[in-house]
Amino acid sequence: MRRMEKIPLRVSVVIPTYNRAGYLSAAIDSALSQSVPPHEIIVVDDGSEDDTPQVCARYGDLVTYIHQENAGPSSARNNGIEQATGELVAFLDSDDLWLPGKLERQVPLFEADESLGLCATAHYRCDESGKVVGLHSICPTKPAGILREIIARNLFCTPSVMVRRECFRHAGMFDVGLKFGEDWDMWLRVLSLYPGAFIPEPFCNCLCLGAGLTGSLNYRNFIDWKGIIGRNRTRAPTLYGRLIGCNRAMSWYYTNLAYYYRCKGTRRQGIASLAFSLLYWPLFHWKRYYWLISSVPAPPWNTLFKKVAGKRR
């Protein structure tokens, strides 16, 4: 009997966009230039008021354009997933780029392991000019280690992630109620049900516009952040992983909350947040000790000692 050949898995690219016409073409081109061509590219326009429709129209049948009323990136990604026909869904934000060979490295992993649910890669962080300012990667390659690391904080850049489409039927879709960390929450839910893989080489450039969590100084972000930790704290497969992952998650949360209060000028709340950060995970980052010491006012006897010493001279 002839052995049945496996049908190659098809990749649907989902690009949510909102008023990013100036970046969109480069993002689409980076997907079209992959050595393994995508099955389809779906651009979901989340109510843009710029030239996004015209940019997509230039690609003709190569791009499926969907317009929706402004509802946020989670809604746009969900819309794209629902329209996708490929077995794999790869995400690409409209102001980010894929590097050559991304799909060529990721797709074979899914073909070799039918249980694999998610695969991410390392990524470069870039400034507005496109200049690389840093490399972001993680060490673990085994599924349990990846989940334990990502429970602590979101280590995946969304354009680096590829998910088997059927996983969304069991893990659910992106939570439209979250204004921060909706991608992190999604990866945690998928990885709690399916094995994951991580490629330590960078295969995408992610734009950093400086308006992130602490840059925007929006306390609502911290409410969402703490909620994600709370509802995902039991997802690690072992008790050890849950304790380590959740303690590190809370430590990282309070470290960023301390920085938020520091930017706001509320010293007392900042010091309290740093203290909580150290209690949850003392070894997470040594710079927190410096922040804590520098935030505490000098004891009054230090000032008195300096005055007395000055008079004796």
Task: Give a yes or no: residue 218 inside a domain.
Answer: no
Residues 30 and 138 in one domain: yes
Q: Does 193 map to a domain?
A: yes
Please state the domain count of the chain.
2
- Stretch among 47-51, 81-85, 213-217 having the lowest mean pLDDT: 213-217
In this structure, the number of other CB atoms found within 10 A of the CB of residue 222 comes to: 18
The phi and psi torsions of 16 (rounded to 5 degrees) equal -80, 145
Same domain assignment for residues 170 and 279: no
Note whether residue 303 is domain-resident: no
Residue 6: band (very low, low, confident or very high) from pLDDT cuts 50, 70, 90: confident
Residue 6 lies in a domain: no
The predicted model gives 112-134 an average pLDDT of 92
The confidence score (pLDDT) of residue 286 equals 62
Q: Which two tokens stand for residue 104?
A: 């060529």
Residue 106 falls inside a structural domain: yes
**51 shares a domain with 111:** yes
Q: So what's the pLDDT on residue 188?
A: 94
Q: Per-residue pLDDT for 58 more than 80?
A: yes
Asked if residue 184 and residue 65 are part of one domain, the reply reads yes
User: Is residue 182 located within the same domain as residue 276?
Assistant: no
- Residue 146 sits in a domain of what CATH number? 3.90.550.10
Instruction: Count Cα atoms within 13 angstroms, Cβ side, for 49.
Output: 1
Weakest-pLDDT range from 61-70, 208-217, 243-252: 208-217
214 Cβ partners below 8 Å, 6+ apart?
256, 259, 260, 263
pLDDT band (50, 70, 90) for residue 309:
very low
Residue with the larger pLDDT of the pair 184 and 207: 184
State the average pLDDT over residues 300-306.
48
133 φ/ψ angles, rounded to the nearest 5 degrees: -115, -5
Interior/surface letters 232-248, b for 16+ CB within 10 angstroms, e for the rest: bbebbeeeebbebbbbb
Residues 10-22: pLDDT tens digits? 999 999 999 999 9
Containing domain of residue 284, as a range?
Answer: 238-295
236 versus 115: which is more confidently predicted? Answer: 115
pTM of the model: 0.86
* pLDDT band with cut points at 50, 70 and 90 for residue 113: very high
Is 231 inside any structural domain?
Answer: no
Reported as a pLDDT band with limits 50, 70 and 90, residue 283 is confident
14: exposed, middle or buried (C-beta count within 10 Å: 0-12, 13-18, 19+)?
A: buried
**For residue 295, is pLDDT > 80?**
no
Same domain, yes or no, for 60 and 117?
Answer: yes
- Portion of the chain with pLDDT greater than 90, in percent: 61
Mean per-residue pLDDT of the chain: 87
pLDDT digits (tens, 9 = 90+) for 194-233: 999 999 999 999 987 654 444 456 889 999 999 999 988 8
Distance CA 32, CA 190 (A): 27
For residue 216, tell me if it sits in a domain.
no
Same domain, 118 and 244: no
What mean pLDDT do residues 241-262 have? Answer: 87
